[in-house]
Amino acid sequence: MKETKVIRVIGKQKNVDGEQSEIELTTEGVLYEKNNHIYIVYEETELSGMEGTTTTLKIESNKRVSINRFGTTKNQLIFEEGESYKTVYNTMYGNFPMEVFTNYLSVNLDEQNKGVIEIRYDLNVADSMEPLINKLKIELM
């Protein structure tokens, strides 16, 4: 059964020079369960810089979460604490190889699927020497 949820996404990114940026998005999305996984689907906005993109979070367990984006931006990010995954970030400006290393992952949802998902990860874009340090907090209300 699909249910509508209010989703609040807070993304923070810091580079090696300490420069930090933050994006916060509150939107409506759809949550459903399939094959013992929880899926959360929402549309990105101009605020995130990915307008025209649909984002799907897949909660496979308390230890593995993936984000799939389709539309003007296309990529897949896999988060599993202590693990590194390579992917390609496809945009209208070109394709960029990326590597994601998950430092911390917490999935804390109640029986009504309300709660918080927190992910801390390092992101290397196009084999850069210095990673971008990221914090992602997703609140389901």
| Number of domain units in the chain | 1
Q: In terms of residue numbers, what domain contains 121? A: 3-140
* 43-80 pLDDT per residue, tens: 987 767 778 899 999 999 889 999 999 988 888 999 99
CA geometry: angle 103, 107, 113, nearest 5 deg: 160
Q: What is the pTM of this model?
A: 0.90
- CA 15, 130, 125, 28 torsion-angle sign: negative
Q: Residue 98's closest CA among 64, 132, 71?
A: 132
Nearest to 78 by CA among 89, 67, 93: 67
CATH number at residue 30: 2.40.128.20
**What whole-number distance in Å separates Cα of residue 65 and Cα of residue 8?**
17
Q: What is the pLDDT of residues 101-129, one digit of tens each?
A: 999 999 999 999 999 999 999 999 876 77
Give residue 118's Cα distance to chain centre. Answer: 10
Higher pLDDT, 90 or 120: 120
Assign 3-state DSSP to the chain and report helix, strand, coil percentages, each to 5.
Answer: 0, 70, 25
Q: Does 41 have pLDDT greater than 80?
A: yes
pLDDT for 16-30, tens place per residue? 888 999 999 999 999
Among 110, 109, 85, residue whose Cα is nearest residue 99:
85
Q: Which residues contact 100 (CB under 8 A, 6 or more apart)?
A: 77, 78, 79, 84, 85, 86, 87, 121, 122, 123
